[in-house]
């Protein structure tokens, strides 16, 4: 009997070990993921690989299709998985984690009672939730719904439909009652129902019945439960600061860090971000353990007058900045042979000793549609050599191997996860 118990115990241990190393297991190889959390890539990464022009990279990615996938910190979930799920909702965070994102983003803003919540903008509730369909809460919006107007003779729109609803218009208790939806609005709408029904044709409303909105603290608890790292972005307030006369920008920046401390999160698991260099400097000075991984989202590149210089990047490094994060297009350019190569910005930032994160992969619709119409922001510097969705992976490869980025935000993390696993990043 004792011998049988030993055999059963040995078999149980073998079964547990096999489960941990099963294909798709996020715990295989000692990954920091939650035990039992499997990485599920789905068909999209492989669809994009098949769409690539023939190349050694394509063949390598095809060969990797049979390998098990593990979670990767190179794969950063941008707002979750908003290509098909309502952003900053519990459902889309969980989808991103299943796709192997090792780091997940909560964009942080605040409500009327100064509670921190996950929203991409303080004033996006009219496009990301059902607030306009809720008369009691719609009445509190900064600007009510105004229908579109059209020229009766030509039928041309003379005024787009509009509204403005902010988290600072409502309390946390009221925020919790809202349903998350795909971020979109119909500018031709003449009714609230039409205004809310604006999802782009290349996205879907199949998973947008009623997305569960999250507070910042709830996002921390969810991410800890799944064992992923966190990258909160302190959003630029849409209201004058100090808010309500005494809530300062510094208190706002500190409150965000305090919620990680209260949850017992280790600083090395957090990458706080901001487009405001002042916020980054505040964390470096007042919260150095968190500040050492603070990410400066470099929006200066959108200013035509901005010129990247080594002196500028060295000055950032001297202030304690270790990571910069510009949009993808600022990191690549075309050489004389029309080959995609690292940009001057990328080379100078690396020369100054800075790490680089890029944003955001799979953020827009089909490349074949976007580029001819001049609507392709993220690949604008190399758009002239791109004509299919598979070309985006070629850009990703240059960013990873030649620019040397340490991670990239993505609206569908599975694709980046597949690339990262295949390249053993």
* 248 and 100 within one domain: yes
Q: Do both 196 and 336 map to the same domain?
A: no
Same domain? For 67 and 194 the reply is no
For residue 64, count other CB atoms closer than 10 A to its CB.
18
- Whether residue 190 sits in one domain with residue 156: yes
Q: Which of 212, 236, 259 is the last residue of a domain?
A: 212
Within-domain flag for 377: yes
Strand partners, 89: 213
Range of the domain at 150: 121-212
Given a contact cutoff of 8 angstroms between Cβ atoms, the answer to whether 357 and 405 are in contact is yes
- Which DSSP string corresponds to 324-378? EE-BGGGGEEE-TTS-EEE-HHHHHHHHTT-EEEEEEET-SS-HHHHTTTT---T
Give the end of a domain, one of 183, 212, 241: 212
Is residue 401 one of the residues assigned to a domain?
A: yes
Is residue 33 in a domain? no
Q: How many domains does the chain have?
A: 2
Which long-range contacts link 193-198 to residues 24+ away (Cβ below 8 Å)? 193/133, 194/161, 195/126, 195/132, 195/145, 195/147, 195/161, 195/163, 196/130, 196/132, 196/133, 198/127
Q: Which tokens sit at 127?
A: 């496009």
Neighbours of 172 (CB within 10 A): 16
Task: Using alpha carbons, select from 85, 110, 88, 91 the residue that is nearest to residue 166.
Answer: 110
> Which residue from 145, 194, 140, 132 is spatially nearest to 170, judged by alpha carbons?
140
Instruction: With respect to residue 16, please indicate whether it lies within any of the assigned structural domains.
Output: no
Given this model, what pLDDT does residue 23 score? 34
Q: Are residues 95 and 50 in the same domain?
A: yes
**Residue 129 within a domain:** yes
Residues 239 and 280 in one domain: yes
Tell me which of 212, 242, 260 is where a domain ends: 212
C-alpha separations of 211 from 99, 109, 164, 191, 329 in Å: 18, 18, 20, 22, 31
Assign 170 to helix, strand or coil: coil
Instruction: Provide the H-helix boundaries in 120-164.
Output: 125-128, 135-138
Q: Are 257 and 285 in contact (CB under 8 A)?
A: no
Same domain as 134, residue 72: no
Sheet holding 107-110, edge to edge: 116-118, 107-110, 233-234, 273-274, 295-297, 323-325, 355-361, 407-410, 72-77, 101-104, 229-230
Task: Evaluate whether 93 touches 77 at the Cβ level (below 8 Å).
Answer: yes
Question: Which pairs from 338-345 meet CB under 8 Å and 24+ separation?
Answer: 338/384, 338/385, 340/382, 340/385, 340/394, 340/395, 340/398, 341/398, 341/402, 342/398, 342/402, 342/403, 343/381, 344/308, 345/301, 345/308
Q: Are residues 397 and 304 in the same domain?
A: yes
As a whole number of angstroms, the distance between CA 348 and CA 100 comes to 31
21 within some domain: no
CA distance from start to end of the chain: 49
Instruction: Examine the domain organization and report whether 72 and 200 are in the same domain.
Output: no
In terms of domains, do 189 and 273 share one?
no
Q: Is 173 exposed, middle or buried (0-12, 13-18, 19+ CB in 10 A)?
A: exposed
- Domain of 51, CATH number, reads 3.20.20.190
| Alpha-carbon 110 to chain mean position | 19
Q: CA nearest 41: which of 20, 70, 62?
A: 70
Residue 7 lies in a domain: no
pTM: predicted TM-score of the whole model, two decimal places = 0.91
Same domain, 399 and 369: yes
Which SS3 state, helix, strand or coil, does residue 87 take?
coil
307 and 191 in a single domain? The answer is: no
Strand, helix or coil for residue 109: strand
Name, in order, each residue with C-beta under 8 angstroms of 256's C-beta and a sequence gap of 6 or more: 108, 116, 216, 232, 234, 272
3-state secondary structure of 415: helix
Cite the beta strand spans of 160-259 per DSSP E: 162-164, 179-180, 211-212, 229-230, 233-234
Blockwise average pLDDT, block size 10, the chain, 425 residues:
39 36 34 60 97 97 94 97 96 96 98 98 98 98 98 98 98 98 98 97 94 98 98 98 98 98 98 98 98 98 98 98 98 98 98 98 87 80 93 98 98 98 95
Report strand pairing: 157-159 vs 162-164.
unpaired
Angle at 270 between CA 269 and CA 275, to 5 degrees: 160
Domain membership of residue 112 (yes or no) is no
């Amino acid at each position: 009997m004792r011998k049988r118990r030993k055999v059963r115990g040995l078999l149980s241990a073998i079964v547990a070990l096999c489960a941990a190393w099963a294909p798709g297991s996020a715990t295989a190889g000692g990954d920091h993921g939650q035990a039992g959390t499997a990485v599920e890539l789905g068909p999209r990464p492989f669809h994009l690989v098949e769409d690539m022009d023939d190349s050694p990279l394509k063949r390598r990615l095809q060969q990797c299709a049979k390998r098990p996938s593990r979670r990767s910190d190179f794969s950063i979930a941008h707002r979750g998985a908003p290509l098909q799920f309502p952003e900053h909702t519990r459902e889309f965070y969980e989808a991103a984690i299943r796709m192997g994102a090792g780091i997940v983003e909560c964009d942080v803003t605040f409500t009327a009672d100064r509670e921190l919540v996950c929203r991409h903008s303080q004033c996006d509730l009219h496009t990301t939730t059902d607030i306009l369909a809720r008369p009691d809460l719609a009445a509190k919006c900064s600007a009510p719904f105004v229908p579109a107007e059209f020229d009766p003779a030509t039928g041309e729109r003379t005024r787009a439909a509009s509204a403005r609803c902010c988290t600072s218009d409502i309390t946390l208790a009221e925020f919790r009652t809202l349903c998350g939806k795909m971020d979109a609005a119909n500018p031709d709408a003449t009714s609230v129902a039409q205004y809310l029904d604006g999802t782009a044709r290349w996205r879907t409303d199949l998973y947008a019945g009623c997305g569960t909105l999250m507070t910042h603290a709830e996002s921390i608890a969810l991410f800890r439960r799944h064992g992923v790292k966190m990258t909160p972005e302190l959003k630029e307030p849409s209201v004058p600061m100090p808010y309500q006369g005494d809530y300062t920008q510094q208190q706002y920046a500190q409150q965000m860090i305090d919620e990680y401390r209260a949850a017992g999160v280790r600083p090395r698991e957090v990458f706080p971000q901001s487009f405001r260099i002042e916020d980054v400097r505040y964390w470096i000075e007042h919260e150095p353990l968190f500040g050492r991984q603070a990410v400066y989202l470099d929006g200066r590149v959108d200013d035509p007058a901005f010129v990247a210089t080594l002196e500028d990047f060295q000055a950032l490094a001297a202030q304690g900045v270790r990571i910069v994060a510009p949009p993808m297009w600022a990191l690549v350019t075309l050489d004389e042979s029309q080959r995609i190569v690292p940009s001057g910005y990328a080379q100078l930032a690396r020369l100054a000793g800075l790490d680089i994160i890029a944003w955001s992969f799979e953020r827009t619709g089909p490349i074949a549609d976007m580029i001819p119409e001049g609507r392709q922001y993220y690949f604008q510097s190399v758009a002239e050599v791109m004509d299919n969705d598979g070309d985006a992976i070629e850009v990703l490869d240059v960013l990873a191997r030649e620019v040397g980025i340490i991670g990239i935000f993505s609206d569908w993390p599975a694709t980046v996860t597949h690339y990262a696993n295949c390249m053993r990043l």
